[in-house]
Structure 1
Amino acid sequence: MAAKPPLSLGSWGRFANPFSRSRPMSKQTHSFQAEVKQILHLVTHSLYSNKEIFLRELVSNASDACDKLRYEALDHPQLFEDNPNLEVRVLFDAEAKTLTIRDNGIGMSAEEATAHLGTIAKSGTREFMAKLDGDQKKDAQLIGQFGVGFYSGFIVADRITVESRRAGLPADQGVRWSSEGTGEFELETIDKPLRGTDVILHLRDEETEFLSTWRLKSIISKYSDHISLPILMKKETWDAEASKQIVTDEWETVNKAAALWSRSKSEVTDAEYQDFYKQISYDSEPPLAYTHNRVEGRSEYTQLLYIPAKAPFDLWNRDKRGGVKLYVKRVFIMDDAETLLPVYLRFVKGVIDSADLPLNVSRELLQESRDVKAIREGSTKRILSMLESLADSDSADDKAKYQKFWGEFGNVMKEGIGEDFQNQERLAKLLRFSSTHADEGVSLADYVSRMKEGQDVIYVITADSLAAAKSSPQLEIFRKKGIEVLLLAERVDEWMLSHLHEFEGKQLQSVAKGSVDLGKLQDEEEKKKAEETAEAFKPLVEKLKTALASRAKDVRVSNRLVDSPACVVVEEGDMSGHLARLLKQSGQEAPETRPILEVNPEHALVKRMLDDPRFDDLAQILFDQAVLAEGGQLEDAAAYVQRVTRLLSA
């Protein structure tokens, strides 16, 4: 049996045994899970803009239920019973003020109705509530983002009744679930000859606009036109005698009922692409970019992939599965086929429809399939090409889009430097940084084009924050000479640098590691003066080595300092202080390394230290201040304060 997609409130009956039997039961009253009560309160009291979104959610749920049946029927064709044609019907009763969304999909058993409609398996309640502040309190668009779409029906209804029977169960094993959206719901067994689910909304008096064929058709056309199943409504015809439209008993399809990605690009409008994106992503903003292609060759597949404009709230949740929707020959297989794209592209939304994969493909088979590898490589290259076209465009609008993209997803893209060696060079060209010459948007190509004559390395510095990087004393000689340094202040940057060693033949060099050798950027006179100064300050250096023997690996005269008295650096190849701090903050062990103290021989404090009777205190203070300037923490802050106090009191 193929592996099943994960649980979602958007799909009825995900995990139950299709052949299980449950005992008939009389009407029972149950309490909602606490999180559901919170959501229902928010839905009924806060979400009141764009109410029509409820129909999109319920039609989407019905479509998911049909997809689920088609998938399970691959192994159990008897689940189709005598009705293999899957569909969604929308009907209303103006007199009773009810609106019904009916599907003949997988359906629910009594146990599933309790589990799926009374609890939230993976609650997004906290994030959902956190989003509902300020103007967002009235935004019904939010409800689809957190897997709680069913409850959107309570935006317009004061009671919802759900009648359902799971495919494979007998007619007397149907279930009726009913609630007014307060603290309780009722459950009872009913006879239901047809499998599937009816969601019956008992509309509030002020919501009768949704008892109109024209209104419902317009909403379906707006949000659900792409759904590949037919969505049926009863036809209306003009009654000349009564001078009004009347509803007939004849059904008609009100959506295009064709998968949007299966249509030719010339047949799909930009508005349709954007509406489809909003449907599958629950994002109220249009995407930054999208690509729609049919690929033929070693592997045949269609891809419709989107770059969102905004990062999702759970982008950094390691337990959250990411990935695009996978279809095989337009049959839905799974929601989050993460193996079709590398992890660093987990923000990409869309659909991949393969013509080669087996219909009963499982997650395990996906990991081993050669066809999947081809799809993954092709889709990755397509997305990178889309980003390159934005980044390299002469259009100011495209450049602004890429800058926005980088602000939202740049740190995720950096993960690819160490994960996707095949595309590392392309990814390196997409990287953007701040530098001593620009606040943002500096590419490695920009940097190389501005390098000084005789400069043969790319200088970088990592720090805990952009402000700390900008004010680091290790940059002083570079500022004096007008040499650009890239400022890296994100947690992922240290890890990225461990994999990115050069760009276009230029080595990346941290200004906080090893001694600074400016090579051709330093003339012979400067080099000679530096050697003479180092010789003259040998007595001071030796004395500092003795005083700081337990704390500093070495002490030397610096040629990188201009205004500061001292700084700490590490040997080339040693772990930087910034990376060591990151490891400790994440609960990991960092190797014990002692930094090197570099002193500025031109600084007044350093010049007078040698003959000062308070030398030991000055040496310790000098070291502590250098550690603080680098962003480190003092092992004994109290001792530092006492030394400074003694100096100030003298």
Structure 2
Amino acid sequence: MSVENNTENNFENNVESNKETRGFQTEAKQLLHLMIHSLYSNKEIFLRELVSNASDAVDKLRFEALTNDSLFEGDSDLQVKVEFDKEAGTITITDNGIGMSRAEVIENLGTIAKSGTSQFFQNLTGDQKKDAHLIGQFGVGFYSAFIVAKEVEVFSRRAGTPAAEGVHWVCNGEAEFTVADTLRESRGTTIVIHLKEDEKDFADNWRLRSIIKKYSDHISIPVVMEKINYDVADDESDKKADKAAPEFETINSATALWTRSRTDVSEEEYKEFYKHVSHDHAEPVTWSHNRVEGNLDYTSLLYVPARAPFDMYNREAARGLKLYVQRTFIMDDAEQFLPMYLRFIKGVVDSNDLSLNVSREILQQDPNIDAMRTALTKRVLDMLSKLAKNDVEKYASFWKEFGQVLKEGPAEDFANREKIAKLLRFATTHTNVATQDQSLEDYVARMKPEQKKIYYVAAENFNTAKSSPHLEIFRKKGIEVLLLSDRVDEWLMGHMVDFDGKPLQDVGKGALDLGELDTDEEKKAQEESAKTHADLIARVKKALEAQVSEVRVTHRLTDSPACLVVGDQDMGAQMRRLLEQAGQKVPESKPIFEINPEHPLLLKLDQEPDEERFADLAMVLFDQAHLAEGGQLEDPALYVARLNKLLLELSH
């Protein structure tokens, strides 16, 4: 089916001016080389990406035309047209969307570093199949055309500009591209793909149709191709098409998927639509499709991705849902509908209660948005709760990717704190492995009958947490402790006062009171120990008065000689290190030094008559306690000197 006589796409007679040749940036050259020579695992994705881009261009026209309907230029029949020419070996994709100006063509097609190219290369694995999945996610979908193309031409004109301001961009996938002004009567963009010799089988009616149905059936605008005449042979149909104006037919369903009934949408359609809205080739973990009618009238289709985006921890990065009003596209990345800690959720929301001229500023002031945000947040949390209950393995995979982001929730969303808390997962002394797979509900179910609190320890990493001397009394009594090692953990616990009515207690903070977990005999023995070793406590306090706020007999230790404890009102060590690393000033405070007077080292120390040697030994114990909790010594060299001095004394 030839398109050579189609005047819409025959640009050879156009007079071009202001022609220039430009070079790509280094990263762009690398990307083009990768597309041409490396990514062969799924070549047909080029059509998916180009049709998706064309659909976005049409959506943008619809949005801009809300305030300026002259942009339609008398043509409001929006569509994406796919044509091919077997003899010439070309595929042509045309949209009548917003189009591009010369400057936009140069920016969008010639300078691609801002589209995520650096992160794209950082995420490459060397596995062709996995790497091909990254296309689109990093905004480099257009360049997938070079997987099958020896040359790509782009003809475009921005809606609302004169025909003389058309632009023609050409690239053969090497180091340079050319751009020129040209006459273009119609707005929008046409991409002509000149296929490589061994890729010309893509210029086939049935193959193109099958790819469109596979990847683009869910797109809400028509994707059309020339109608097949089933009454004549294919070659006869080609001849007939050359003699008469071609008749086009819609290949995709062209109905906004979220507007359809859930019973009418297949699982595969949901998955393909996710890839369209997210530019992520991996399948989603789960999704929720819901229609709300009543005080508010809106439809939402929300997805949980299988993997984190490259910029997830950049809180300034674009996030949010695609917003439609009465099925008309309004904006990408409408962040007002979900809180920051759910920024990984993808999908669409379509409201009948918002005006078509809604803006980001208006969204921030509309009370309907707050109601929708509350409802959508609850829906996401319910979706995650259902996943955690019904598919432990999938939820574990989700947690590995997004757990640290979800931990931001209790601080940001007080109303849903308990619901979020049930979704959190931790490592604990119950399993003693680094995998965060234990819920607070699991912990509570295993609590001893007389246990009133949920205990946790926070440290720089899992091994430090697991080996913390603060856990010794808990291990002795068989009491489970949460092992926290994520950077956000101590901050998280600062906003989680309790769970299921049970207070959360940092085992390294304040005086340790195990309540009914201690017997009367144990409590009496603690009091007696403090009195018996009062002189030792006083000597250690004098030796370490510049380093500690208090010295006392420990209740935490059974095997270690000493440990450091944070005051009840003081900032924890993990949070202190985090703020210091961020360059923030933290309030000064001294730790409490707890000693185990029954330990052989303390018994030996108590018998030391030389006060100078006593002070050196006390400082070594203090520094060791600091190291045991993952801290860094202020003067490591002095610690080594003291230790060497003591070792030399022992050798004599």
Is this a same-fold pair by TM over 0.5? yes
* Structure 2 equivalent of residue 641 of structure 1: 640
* Structure 2 equivalent of residue 291 of structure 1: 288
TM alignment of 1:445-460, pairs within 5 A: 445-460=441-456
| CA RMSD in angstroms, aligned pairs only | 1.6
**Separation of aligned partners in 1, 2:319 and 2:232:** 55
Q: Which amino acid aligns with 1:628?
A: L
* Structure 2 equivalent of residue 429 of structure 1: 422
- 1:138 to partner: Cα distance: 7.4
Look up the SS of the partner of 2:135 in the other structure. helix
* Structure 1 equivalent of residue 173 of structure 2: 181
Partner deviation per Cα, 1:15-55 (whole Å, 9 max, x = no partner): xxxxxxxx983322222233322211221122111010000
2:213 touches 2:251 (CA, 8 Å); kept in 1?
A: yes
Number of aligned residue pairs: give it: 624
**Separation of aligned partners in 2, 1:47 and 1:560:** 58
* TM-score normalised by the chain length of structure 1: 0.94
TM alignment of 1:196-215, pairs within 5 A: 196-215=188-207
Q: Choose which of 69, 78, 84 in structure 1 pairs with 2:70.
A: 78
Q: Choose which of 121, 135, 158 in structure 1 pairs with 2:127.
A: 135
* TM-score normalised by the chain length of structure 2: 0.93
Q: Which amino acid aligns with 2:259?
A: S
* Structure 2 equivalent of residue 520 of structure 1: 516
* Structure 2 equivalent of residue 61 of structure 1: 53
**Separation of aligned partners in 2, 1:428 and 1:490:** 16
- 1:238 to partner: Cα distance: 4.1
Partner deviation per Cα, 1:43-69 (whole Å, 9 max, x = no partner): 112211101000011111111111111
- The alignment status of 1:583 with 2:579, answered yes or no, reads yes
Look up the SS of the partner of 1:96 in the other structure. coil
**Separation of aligned partners in 2, 1:284 and 1:109:** 30
- 1:618 to partner: Cα distance: 0.6
* Structure 2 equivalent of residue 473 of structure 1: 469
* Structure 2 equivalent of residue 97 of structure 1: 89
Percent of aligned pairs sharing the same letter: 56
Look up the SS of the partner of 2:488 in the other structure. helix
- 1:121 to partner: Cα distance: 6.0
* Structure 1 equivalent of residue 626 of structure 2: 627
**Separation of aligned partners in 1, 2:501 and 2:20:** 73
* Structure 2 equivalent of residue 17 of structure 1: none
Look up the SS of the partner of 2:133 in the other structure. helix
Q: Choose which of 316, 321, 343 in structure 2 pairs with 1:319.
A: 316
- 1:504 to partner: Cα distance: 1.6
Partner deviation per Cα, 1:475-502 (whole Å, 9 max, x = no partner): 1000000011111111111111111101
Q: Which amino acid aligns with 2:165?
A: Q
Cα distance change of structure 1 residues 401 and 82 upon mapping to structure 2, 3 Å threshold? same
1:565 touches 1:605 (CA, 8 Å); kept in 2?
A: yes
2:42 touches 2:129 (CA, 8 Å); kept in 1?
A: no
Q: Which amino acid aligns with 2:494?
A: S
Look up the SS of the partner of 2:84 in the other structure. strand
- 1:137 to partner: Cα distance: 7.2
* Structure 2 equivalent of residue 20 of structure 1: none
**Separation of aligned partners in 2, 1:266 and 1:215:** 29
Cα distance change of structure 1 residues 280 and 450 upon mapping to structure 2, 3 Å threshold? same
**Separation of aligned partners in 2, 1:66 and 1:42:** 29
* Structure 2 equivalent of residue 6 of structure 1: none
**Deviates further, 101-110 or 436-445:** 436-445
* Structure 2 equivalent of residue 3 of structure 1: none
1:557 touches 1:598 (CA, 8 Å); kept in 2?
A: yes
Partner deviation per Cα, 1:294-344 (whole Å, 9 max, x = no partner): 011221110000111111221112231111111111111111011111000
**Separation of aligned partners in 2, 1:531 and 1:399:** 47
- The alignment status of 1:408 with 2:401, answered yes or no, reads yes
**Separation of aligned partners in 2, 1:140 and 1:192:** 34
* Structure 2 equivalent of residue 16 of structure 1: none
Q: Choose which of 376, 380, 387 in structure 2 pairs with 1:379.
A: 376
* Structure 2 equivalent of residue 42 of structure 1: 34
Task: Specify every segment of 5 or more residues in structure 1 that has no aligned partner in the other structure, as ranges.
Answer: 1-22
2:133 touches 2:282 (CA, 8 Å); kept in 1?
A: no
Partner deviation per Cα, 1:177-227 (whole Å, 9 max, x = no partner): 111111111122222111111100011111112111100011001111011
* Structure 2 equivalent of residue 532 of structure 1: 528
Q: Which amino acid aligns with 2:126?
A: G
Q: Choose which of 532, 537, 540 in structure 2 pairs with 1:541.
A: 537
TM alignment of 1:132-531, pairs within 5 A: 132-136=124-128, 139-238=131-230, 240=232, 246=238, 248=241, 249-393=246-390, 398-438=391-431, 439=433, 440-531=436-527
